[in-house]
């Protein structure tokens, strides 16, 4: 007879764990809810493992920083909304480490130029949020620092220099580098506006302003100021994406606004004439001439030019000035002198308003978004280079062109520019980690406490039951809020603070989650320990530990597993709820994303892509474990299969 082989640890593991687990999984797979649950769970685990293994270093600490997402637009929907008819401006980030043409060097002038070219196509009439250029790793050459010039060729043929700056490097050592990034405040708006004026022949019509050079200069200056103000909306940098429309209707004559002022002046002049009873200095002809000039302006207001108005009023002011001098020299009555002075002051004030505010003409520029291909050129110029460098490309590490459009990525972005798909992806392992740690720990504690309480009874049972009563009577949510708020204020800032806060939440969840399971397991243990086979085991000398682990634990295990499965989504949703309530830990969980939306107020609520995806992931994760729990329940209680 062959000797009986002693079972190894591997054999015991297969017999007691692997084979039963296979049987349970087979039973779960045999149910519709089980199939769906296992498929969803497999996806959750696979994504979590992938996210945990590919998470960039420092991501957990940096995801809330706007600088970490500086190339992304803020609060924009996903790219695919364009397929549903939405008008969009695409987002791009393009880097070039090599010039697009061979570096050019002119020995006669010593100018070395590196040229990088980029293109951006705007298909729909929608503004991007912003754009910028950045040049990294700028080196000096022969103690010479470069000049960076950035120009654009628009779809309408206008070519304009946008930025031109001398790069300053503290140390011209060849190993010292510098970084340059365009500043919207330094854009050469005057150059762009001049090109637009020339391209579209924008001027104040001569039939409106007349031939007076000063008036022409004032009107042209006002027109230019109004154009700069209008084209700078919504921002200075975005002015390149606009073209003028209805240019012929930009300038209008504000004739109706001039009539009341001219009639007021005319009445003042008539008052002067009426106050003169004795005219030794013969000033009445001057006053009558002034009245005649103003009357002409009133009667021909629909025909005169700006120059006509201004020059005529200047002539009237001169007439009144002469009349005032004569009246003073001949001691005219004070009422006459005062009336002349009042009329002259009113005219001079009106002339000043015409020069400063140009109240005779109204200017209303109109622009629309210019669609098409925009070609940008970055020229990095080193002046005074005596010898051609052996590797001119090494003078610049790379040039980056970034356009923050109106859409971005698979799921859009949030208030700090964070890519929502990235946040949700890296939130998978954190969600499962929180759920599994809290659920497994509380289930183990509940099972052990319930078995010990029910099996041993006596004072042990009494102590455990009183602890359960205390836990069940403590309000969980208010306590969680108090402890969480205190932890946020007390714990020192640093990379470990978020970890400590999350572990604190998990610990509190564990403490308050095991009591209910312990009560049920206790009642099951009280019933099981009265079974005959338990008495037989005791009679054969089995220890309490053996009875608990070999006879009681296996019978309560499936119920414990079902409870564990249900506790996972409960822990995940609790963390999400606390985050939304303002107890922020700092890690990119799905609840933290929803909390950011809530903190953003109406803007966050209006961004559907910000709220729906994390909400759906929380729902899907909960559904996965609920379906799995339903399948396990049917194994625990076969009678449920008939329901």
Tens digit of each residue's pLDDT (9 = 90 or more) over 592-621: 899 889 888 889 889 999 999 999 999 999
Distance CA 199, CA 31 (A): 73
pLDDT range class, residue 14, cuts 50, 70, 90: low
Return the higher-pLDDT residue of 199 and 498. Answer: 199
What is the β-pairing status of strands 111-122 and 104-106?
A: antiparallel
Q: How far are the Cα atoms of 13, 94, 442, 517 from residue 118, in angstroms, in the given order?
A: 63, 8, 58, 64
* Domain boundaries along the sequence of the chain: 21-55+415-642, 87-251+362-406, 255-359
Return the higher-pLDDT residue of 5 and 522. Answer: 522
> Of the candidates 281, 291, 293, 295, which has an alpha carbon nearest to the alpha carbon of residue 323?
281
Return the higher-pLDDT residue of 548 and 439. Answer: 439
Structure tokens at 593: 């994303």
> Of the candidates 217, 219, 213, which has an alpha carbon nearest to the alpha carbon of residue 251?
219
> Of the candidates 203, 212, 222, 201, which has an alpha carbon nearest to the alpha carbon of residue 304?
212
Distance CA 290, CA 314 (A): 10
592 membership: H or E segment, kind and range: helix 590-600
The per-residue pLDDT for 411 is 94
The answer to whether residue 634 scores a pLDDT higher than 50 is yes
Distance CA 317, CA 271 (A): 16
The per-residue pLDDT for 501 is 87
SS (H, E, C) 402-442: EEECCCCCCCCECCCCCEHHHHHHHHHHHHHHHHHHHHHHH
**pLDDT, tens only, 46-93:** 999 999 999 998 898 889 888 899 999 999 999 999 999 999 999 999
Structure tokens at 382: 């080193």
Taking residues 362-380, report their average pLDDT: 95
Return the higher-pLDDT residue of 245 and 175. Answer: 245
The per-residue pLDDT for 1 is 45
Distance CA 550, CA 552 (A): 6
Domain 21-55+415-642: CATH superfamily, name plus number = MetI-like (1.10.3720.10)
Distance CA 567, CA 88 (A): 43
Class of domain 255-359 (CATH, top level): mainly alpha
* DSSP codes of every residue in 79-138: GGGGGGT------EEEEESS-SSPPEEETTTTEEEEEEEEEEEE-SS---SEEEEEEEEE
**pLDDT, tens only, 476-502:** 888 888 888 888 888 887 768 888 888
Secondary structure of residue 180 in the 3-state scheme = strand
Q: What is the pTM of this model?
A: 0.81
Residue with tokens 């002539």: 315
Taking residues 157-178, report their average pLDDT: 78
Structural contact between residues 421 and 409, judged by C-beta atoms closer than 8 angstroms: yes
Q: What are the two backbone dihedrals, phi and then psi, of residue 521, each rounded to the nearest 5 degrees?
A: -65, -35
Distance CA 30, CA 24 (A): 10
Which of 4-13, 385-394, 566-575, 602-611 is predicted least confidently?
A: 4-13
Structural contact between residues 447 and 549, judged by C-beta atoms closer than 8 angstroms: no
Return the higher-pLDDT residue of 492 and 166. Answer: 166
Q: How far are the Cα atoms of 15, 179, 354, 379, 584 from residue 165, in angstroms, in the given order?
A: 76, 12, 39, 11, 43
What is the chain's Cα-based Rg?
A: 42
Taking residues 305-314, report their average pLDDT: 91
């Amino acid at each position: 007879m062959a000797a009986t082989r002693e079972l190894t640890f591997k054999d015991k593991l297969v017999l007691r764990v692997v084979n039963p687990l296979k049987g349970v999984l087979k039973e779960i797979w045999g149910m519709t809810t089980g199939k769906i649950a296992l498929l969803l769970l497999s996806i959750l685990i696979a994504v979590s493992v992938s996210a945990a293994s590919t998470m960039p270093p420092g991501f957990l600490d940096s995801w809330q920083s706007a600088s970490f997402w500086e190339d992304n637009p803020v609060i924009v929907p996903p790219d695919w909304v364009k397929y549903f008819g939405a008008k969009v401006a695409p987002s791009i980030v393009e880097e070039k480490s090599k010039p697009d043409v061979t570096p050019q060097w002119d020995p006669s002038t010593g100018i070395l130029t590196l040229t990088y070219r980029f293109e951006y196509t705007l298909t729909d009439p929608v503004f991007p949020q912003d754009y910028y250029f950045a040049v990294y790793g700028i080196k000096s050459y022969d103690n010479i620092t470069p000049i960076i010039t950035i120009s654009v060729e628009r779809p309408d043929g206008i070519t304009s220099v946008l930025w031109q700056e001398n790069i300053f490097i503290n140390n011209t050592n060849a190993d010292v580098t510098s970084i340059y990034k365009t500043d919207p405040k330094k854009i050469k708006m005057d150059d762009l506006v001049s090109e637009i004026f020339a391209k579209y022949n924008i001027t104040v019509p001569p039939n409106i302003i007349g031939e007076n050079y000063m008036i022409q200069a004032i009107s042209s200056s006002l027109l230019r100021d109004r154009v700069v103000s209008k084209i700078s909306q919504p921002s200075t940098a975005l002015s390149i994406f606009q073209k003028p429309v209805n240019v012929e209707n930009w300038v209008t004559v504000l004739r109706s606004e001039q009539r009341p002022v001219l009639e007021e002046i005319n009445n003042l002049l008539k008052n002067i004439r009426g106050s003169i009873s004795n005219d030794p200095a013969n000033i009445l002809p001057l006053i009558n001439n002034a009245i005649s000039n103003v009357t002409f302006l009133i009667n021909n207001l629909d025909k005169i030019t700006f120059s006509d108005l201004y020059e005529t009023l200047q002539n009237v002011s001169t007439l009144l000035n002469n009349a005032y001098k004569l009246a003073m020299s001949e001691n005219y009555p004070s009422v006459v002198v005062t009336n002349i002075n009042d009329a002259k002051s009113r005219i001079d004030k009106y002339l000043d308003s015409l020069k400063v505010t140009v109240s005779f003409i109204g200017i209303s520029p109109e622009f629309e978004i210019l669609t098409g291909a925009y070609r940008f050129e970055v020229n990095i110029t080193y002046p005074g280079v005596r010898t051609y460098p052996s590797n001119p490309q090494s003078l610049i590490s790379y040039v980056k062109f970034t356009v923050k459009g109106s859409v971005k990525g698979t799921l859009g972005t949030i208030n700090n520019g964070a890519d929502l798909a990235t946040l949700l992806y890296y939130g998978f392992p954190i969600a499962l980690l929180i759920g599994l740690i809290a659920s497994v720990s509380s289930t183990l504690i509940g099972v052990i406490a319930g078995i010990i309480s029910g099996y041993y009874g006596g004072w042990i049972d009494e102590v455990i039951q009183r602890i359960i009563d205390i836990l069940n009577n403590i309000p969980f949510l208010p306590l969680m809020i108090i402890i969480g708020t205190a932890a946020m204020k007390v714990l020192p800032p640093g990379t470990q603070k978020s970890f400590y806060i999350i572990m604190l939440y998990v610990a509190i969840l564990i403490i308050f989650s095991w009591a209910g399971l312990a009560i049920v397991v206790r009642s099951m243990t009280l019933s099981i320990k009265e079974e005959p086979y338990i008495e037989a085991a005791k009679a054969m000398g089995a220890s309490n530990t053996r009875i608990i682990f070999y006879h009681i634990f296996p019978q309560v295990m499936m119920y414990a597993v079902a409870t564990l499965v249900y506790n996972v989504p409960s822990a995940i949703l609790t963390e999400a709820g606390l985050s939304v309530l303002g107890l922020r830990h700092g890690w990119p969980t799905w609840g933290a994303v929803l909390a950011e939306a809530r903190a953003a107020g109406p803007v966050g609520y209006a961004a559907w892509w910000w709220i729906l995806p994390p909400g759906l992931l929380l729902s899907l994760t909960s559904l996965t474990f609920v379906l799995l729990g339903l399948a396990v329940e049917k194994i625990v209680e076969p009678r449920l299969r008939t329901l």
